[in-house]
Chain A
C-alpha cells in the first residue's frame, strides 16, 4: 500500500473496496451473460435452421390432384386394341384434354384452352397409360381418376392457406378462378405425395422424387462400408497391437491425423485423377463414389477403432497369452469382440459423415441429371445430398419445397444413424 492509502479513513477504504467490488461483480455478470448469450445463439441457430427447413419442406409431402372423368375413347386414343405397341403411340394427352374440356365447357378460345390444359401435370398421360395397361378392359369406358396437378397449380393451392390471395406466379386470373371452382366442388384435393418417394429426378417438380437418389446413396454407402470398415479395423489393429514404435509408425500416424483434416473436395480431385482418368472406372457410378468416400472416412474409422482397442484392458490380453494363445488368436478371439461395439459406433458415425458428403461426389460426375433408378454399383446414379444441391439450383418455386423435404429425409436418416450409434454405445459398451 502507498502512503496516500494510509491517510484514508477506514470508512473511505471500505467504500473504495465496495466500489471496486461492485465493478468486479458487474464484470462477472457481463462475462456470464456473454457465455449464456453464446450458448443461446448456438441453440437458436439450431432452432432457426430446423424450423426454416421444416416450414419450407413440410408442404412437399402432400400434392394437389385433380379429379377428372376420363373416357378411354379409342377414337381419341387412336388405337383399337391394347398391346405394347399401341400403348406407346396412344394419345393419352388428348383424352385428358377432352376430359378437361368437358369439365369446363365454356372454354372456347385457343389461349384459354392452353391455360386449361396446363392445369394437369405433363406426367398425367403416363398415369392413364399405366391404368389402361393393367386393365385393358377399360378401353372405351369412362372412369373417375385423380390426376396430379401441375406444379404451378400446386404452388398456388398451397399458398392459399397462407394468404387469401395466394402466390400467383405464372397462374392467371382465369386459371385461379378454375382452381377455386375445383376446390369448392371437392374436385381438387391435396393428397399424400407418393411420387416424391417412388420416382427418380425430373425437370417437372410435380414428377420429381428422391427414390433414385436414395438408392444411389444406399449403393454408395454399401461400397463405403464394405471397404472402409474392414480396412479401418485392420489398420487400427496393426497400429494398436503390433506396430513397433518407430519412424515408420509415426509417419503413418501423422498421415492419418492429417488426412482427417484434408478438405473433402481434395478427395474428389483424387477420385477424378486416379479412379476415373487412370483406372478408367465409369463416371457417376456409386462404385467410384464409394471408393472416394472410403478414403475420406478411413481416418475417422481408424481413430475410433484405435480408441476402442485401447479401452480393452491389458489384463484380457495377458490372460489369453498366459493360456498359450498366440498374439493373433488373442486379438481375434478376445480383444476384437470386446472392442467391437466401440468400433461399430465409430463406423456408424463415419457412415453418417459419408452420407452427408457432397463436394467430392460433384468432382466424379455424380452430379449428372439421372432419371433412372440405379440397380447396381456401376449404374450412373446420384446421391441424396447431390440431389438436394441440384434441386436447390432449380428456379421453380415448387422445387424449394421439394429440396427442403429431401433435406428433411436426409436429416432424419442422419439423426437415426447417430441415435443408433449413441444407443449402441450405451447398450453394449463395457466399463472396466
Chain B
C-alpha cells in the first residue's frame, strides 16, 4: 500500500473514531437522562477516541518511515560477501543495487547484485505491507479499546487537554530541536574535516585553495585549508558595511526621534523600513550590476585600479541593507531614555544637539552598542550580496578595491552542485559553517545580554 493512501485511510479512521465517540456518548447520555450525567461534553469523548485511534498509529508510522530505509540497507548489505571498504564504495554499490531493483539499470550485473536487488524489492514490499498492517491494526484496536473503555464517569476533557498540553510543549521545544539539529549537523561533518586537516592549519593557515587530488601524484594535490584570508575578507566587507550603516542609521534614528515633526517621521520611517524588506538577492544584483561598475569607474577616474568585484562595492550595498536594522534598534533605545533626562539638560540651557550628544547618547549607549553588535553578526552571516558581488579567490589583502572572498561565499561555492560527503572539500564548508554559527551566536549572546541589561535600567 502506498504511504499516501495509508495516511488518507488513517485520517478517515480518525474521523470515524471521532464520530463514534460522540455518538456513543450521546446514546449513553440519552439513556441516563441528559448530558448532565456525562463527566465531559460529547465532543471531548469524540476527541478522546480519535486521539487513541490516531496518535499511536501516526507515531508508529512516522518512526517506521524514518528508520526503514536504513534498516533495509543494513540487511541488504549484510548479505553481500566482498564489500568495498570505503563508505563511498559502499554507497556506490548500494546505489547500483537500488537501480537494479527499480529496473532502471538494464544489462548484465553480477548474480550477487541481482540477488541483492531481488532481496531489496522483497524487503521493501514486506516493510510496506507490514507498516500498513501494523498501523491499521493499532488504529482500529486502540480506537475500539477507547470506545469500550467509555463510561460516563470518564473525565475525557482532562485527558484530551493533557495530551494537547504535551503537543504544545513539543512545539515549543522546536526551537531547541533546531539548535541541536544545527549543532549536530555542522559538528559531525566538521569533526570529520578536522581528522584530515588540523585545527591549527585551518585557523591560522594563510592559504585557501580547497581542492582535492583525483590521483595521488597530481600536482598541487594537497589543497590548502587556511581560513585566515576568508576571515579577513569577511571582516573587511563587514567593516565597510558598518562604516556606512552605523553613522547613517544612528544619525537618522536620532533625527527622527529628536528633531523630525510627526509628519516627517510618519513618512520617512516606513520608507527606510522598505530597505529592510528588500530581499538580499536583489541587493546582490544591484551591487554586482550597478554599484560595482560605478566603483570601478570612479576609482579609474581617480587613477586607481579597482577590481570589478571589489570588497568596497559589496560592503557599501551591505551597509545600505543594514541601515534600517541599526536605525530601528537605536530608535527603540533612544525612545526608552526617559524624557526627564532631556528636560533636565534643556532646562540647563544646552542646545538640542548638546542634549543628544552629552545626555541621550551616553544614556542609550549600551543599547546602541548591542544593536551594532547584532548588525555586525548580520553582516558576517550575509550571503547573497557577497556571493553575487564579491570574488571567489581567497585574497589576503587590506585594499578594499581588490576582490576578496568571505566565509559565506566559500560555503556556497563548496556546496552548490554535486558533492561527495567524504572529501575534505565538502566537509570544509561545514567547518566554515560551524565557525560562522559559533561567532554569530557569541555576538548575539553578548548583544542580547547588553540590550537586556540596559532595558531593565529605566523600566
Please measure, in the bound complex, the distance between the C-alpha atom of A269 and the C-alpha atom of B430, giving whole angstroms: 7
> Are A252 and B320 neighbours in the complex by a CB distance under 8 Å?
no
User: Which residue among B178, B289, B381, B421 has the maximum number of chain A CB atoms within 10 Å of its CB?
Assistant: B178
Within 8 A of A (CB), among B122-169: 157, 161, 164-165, 167-169
CB neighbours of A392 from chain B (8 A): 281, 284-285, 288-289, 388
A257 touches B408 (CB 8 A): no
Sort A-B residue pairs by CB-CB distance and give the 10 closest, nearest first. A263-B381, A35-B255, A356-B279, A273-B185, A234-B171, A31-B353, A38-B251, A359-B383, A238-B168, A38-B252
Binds B, one of A194-202, A295-303, A423-431: A295-303
Interface string of A395-430 (1 = CB under 8 A from B): 000001001100100110010001000000000000
A421 to chain B, nearest CB (A): 11
| Contact status A274-B181, CB under 8 Å | yes
List B contacts of A367 (CB < 8 A): 416
- Per-residue A-contact encoding for B63-79, CB less than 8 Å = 1, 0 else: 00010010000000000
Residue pair B164, A328 in contact (C-beta under 8 Å): yes
B227 to chain A, nearest CB (A): 16
A42–B189 touching, CB < 8 Å: no
CB closest residue in chain A, given B421: A277
A53 at interface, CB cutoff 8 A: yes
Task: From B161, B268, B278, B384, give the contact of A326 (CB < 8 A).
Answer: B161
Pick from A46, A298, A400, A411: contact of B175, CB below 8 A: A298
Instruction: Give the contacts of B246-280 with A (CB-CB under 8 A).
Output: 247-252, 254-256, 259-260, 268, 271-272, 274-275, 277-280
Q: Which residues of A contact B110 (CB under 8 A)?
A: none
Given contacts A326-B157, A326-B161, contact A259 B178 (CB under 8 A): yes
0 or 1 for each of A202-242: is its CB under 8 Å from B? (1 = yes): 00000000000000000000000000001110110111001
Docked Cα-Cα span, A273 to B186, in Å, equals 8
Complex partner residue of B179 from A238, A255, A269, A407, CB under 8 angstroms: A255
Decide: B167 and A234 in contact? CB cutoff 8 A.
yes
List of B residues within 8 angstroms of A265 by Cβ: 381, 383, 408, 411-412, 433, 436
Cross-chain contact A42 with B248 (CB below 8 angstroms): yes
Determine the chain A residues whose CB is within 8 A of the CB of B277 once the complex forms: 352, 356, 414, 418
A-to-B contact residues, CB < 8 Å:
24-25, 27-28, 31-32, 34-39, 41-43, 45-46, 49, 52-53, 56, 230-232, 234-235, 237-239, 242-243, 251-252, 255-259, 261-270, 272-274, 277, 279-280, 295, 298-299, 302, 326-328, 352, 355-359, 362-363, 367, 385-386, 388-389, 392-393, 400, 403-404, 407, 410-411, 414, 418
A263 contact from B282, B283, B320, B380, Cβ within 8 A = B380
Q: Are A24 and B354 in contact (CB under 8 A)?
A: yes
What CA separation (Å) do A269 and B283 show in the bound complex? 23
Asked if A259 and B354 sit within 8 Å, CB to CB, the answer is: no
Interface centre among B167, B186, B279, B357 (most CB of A within 10 A): B279
Known: A42-B327, A418-B277. 6 other contacts (CB 8 A): A39-B252, A46-B275, A258-B441, A263-B377, A327-B161, A362-B416
Mark B401-441 against chain A: 1 for CB-CB distance below 8 A, else 0: 00000001001100110000100000001100100110011
Enumerate chain B residues within 8 angstroms of A328, measured Cβ to Cβ: 161, 164-165
Residue B395, interface by CB 8 Å: no
Complex Cα gap A11–B255 (Å):
37
Quote the shortest CB–CB distance from A299 to chain B (angstroms): 7
Q: Are B248 and A38 in contact (CB under 8 A)?
A: yes
Q: Is the CB of B172 within 8 A of A49?
A: no
Is there an interface contact between A256 and B175, defined as CB atoms closer than 8 Å?
yes
Cβ distance B445 to chain A, nearest Cβ, rounded Å? 7
Binary CB contact string for chain B from 222 to 233 against chain A (1 if under 8 A, 0 otherwise) = 000000000000
Q: Are A24 and B351 in contact (CB under 8 A)?
A: yes
Cα–Cα, bound, A363→B426 (Å): 12
Complex interface: chain B residues within 8 A of A280 (CB): 69
Given A242-B168, A263-B380, A266-B437, is A273 in contact with B259 using a C-beta cutoff of 8 Å? Answer: no
| Docked-complex contact B173 and A252, CB < 8 angstroms | yes
